[in-house]
Structure 1
Amino acid sequence: MQQSTTTGEVRPHDISIADRIVLRFADACGVAGVSINTMRRLVTAGRGPRVVRLSERRIGIRRSDLDAWIESRTSAA
């Protein structure tokens, strides 16, 4: 989230479009090029991107978090 330059508060309309996009878990795995099981293991171990609970039985990953995670893995290699 971005802070307002005048008041310092965070407002929802200041959030970029990329921060609003949430991919379904399976779609995020496809973008990252890993299997669903591998991504589950990485997330459970705390080594994957942050997940967002979409409902009781569905999770997703923000596109911006996925991109940052992929970049961190790319630069570490």
Structure 2
Amino acid sequence: MGIYSISDLAELTGVKTHTLRVWEKRYGLLTPQRTDTNIRYYLDSDLKGTHAGVKTLQQRGTNFQDSRNDCGRDGGGM
């Protein structure tokens, strides 16, 4: 089982750390685990889910800015 920091997840998915935090807070799309010192870490399932979300947006021909506008919210930049 892989364990990833938010920076690792961002690098592996191409999604900025700020965007990952927004997805977590506003949309509940990610539920990171926390260390005893409250630092986020992600598991393989989070990595797969993030990849799937990015792939869906790409297949729809939608970028993160468009999806943010669709929601009428600031979804964080990519």
| TM-score computed with the length of structure 2 as normaliser | 0.58
1:33 maps to a residue whose letter is G
Q: Which runs of 5+ in 2 are unaligned?
A: 61-78
Note if contact 1:24-1:60 (Cα within 8 Å) is conserved in structure 2: yes
Greater share of residues in helix: 2
Match of 2:31 among 35, 46, 50: 50
Structure 1: which 5+ runs fail to align?
A: 1-19
Taking the aligned partners of 1:60 and 1:68, their CA distance within structure 2 comes to: 14
Contact kept in structure 2, 1:49 and 1:66, CA below 8 Å: no
Q: Provide Cα deviations, 1:20-73, integer angstroms capped at 9, x if missing partner.
A: 311011111111101111111111113432211123231111122221232144
1:66 aligns with 2:47: yes
Which of 30, 36, 39 aligns to 2:20? It is 39
The count of corresponding residues between Structure 1 and Structure 2 is 58
Which structure is higher in RCO with an 8 Å CA cutoff and minimum separation 6?
2
Moved over 3 A (4+): none
3-state DSSP class of the match of 1:50?
coil
Identical amino acids, percent of aligned pairs? 16
Q: Rg larger in 1 or in 2?
A: 1
